[in-house]
Amino acid sequence: MRLTTLTFSSLLLVSLVLTGCFPEQIAAANPEKKTKEVKTEAPKVKEGRELATFGAGCFWCIEAALDQLEGVDACVSGYMGGKTENPTYKDICRGDTGHAEVVQVLFDPKKVSYDKLLSYFWKVHDPTTLNRQGNDVGTQYRSAIFYHSDEQKAKAEAQIKKVNESKVFKDPVVTEVSKVEKFYPAEDYHQNYYEQNKNNPNGNIGYCRYMIAPKLDKLGLEK
């Protein structure tokens, strides 16, 4: 009997999808690709703009979705909600810093409302799984809304109530709603991750193609 064998590239693709949000493994598979340790700056609020901060599992996914919305000026991936100062991604991956992977969004409320951002937040991840999104497991992947004002807090809590009552999900929402804390921008290689890697043969094509792209398709956004 002739056995069908997978090529090395196919095995690598499968492993990258199954292991989830771990760029160190990508770098190991592609030693010629150097990852930058430079930190991106947090979004700077200007007149007529507001900030929103969401945790929805791996920040690559929610950044790719929210960044496409009209009225969104910037999306920066980073860390929030923990006790460790100036955490690195390796710190976060240990799962003991208390930080969540988040995306901080600078938006124009005249063009896109906070409620609309929340509507995409619910659709881009499963808010009923505690400290887990698919194969990404740990408190750093928890579902979280960090509010920047009492108005945002009220809207987040109202939407959670509405989502639970609608029975859109089989299980109740476990999303954390907390006051915004210090935001630590993630390393440079995490920023605009999907756009930089979706067609990059030396990047994480597998995760982009099989994890992020289907979510964008579901939301009717550009892949």
Continuous H helices in 30-147: 59-66, 89-94, 114-124
How many Cβ atoms from other residues are within 10 Å of residue 85's Cβ?
Answer: 8
Instruction: Report if residue 200 sits inside a domain.
Output: yes
Q: What is the mean pLDDT of residues 79-98?
A: 96
Instruction: Report if residue 20 sits inside a domain.
Output: yes
State pLDDT tens for residues 126-173: 999 999 998 899 999 999 999 999 999 999 999 999 999 999 999 999
Identify the pLDDT of residue 60: 96
Identify the pLDDT of residue 20: 58
At 27, the amino acid letter reads A
Name the catalytic one among 21, 58, 61, 208: 58
- Compute CA distances 211 → 57, 187, 197, 201, 214, whole Å: 12, 21, 13, 17, 6
Tally of domains within the chain: 1
State pLDDT tens for residues 25-62: 444 334 344 443 445 788 889 899 999 999 999 999 99
Instruction: Report if residue 18 sits inside a domain.
Output: yes
Q: What pTM does this model have?
A: 0.85
Q: What is the CATH number of the domain that holds 82?
A: 3.30.1060.10
Statement: residue 8 has pLDDT above 60: no
Instruction: Report if residue 1 sits inside a domain.
Output: no
Instruction: Report if residue 223 sits inside a domain.
Output: no
- 21 flagged as catalytic: no
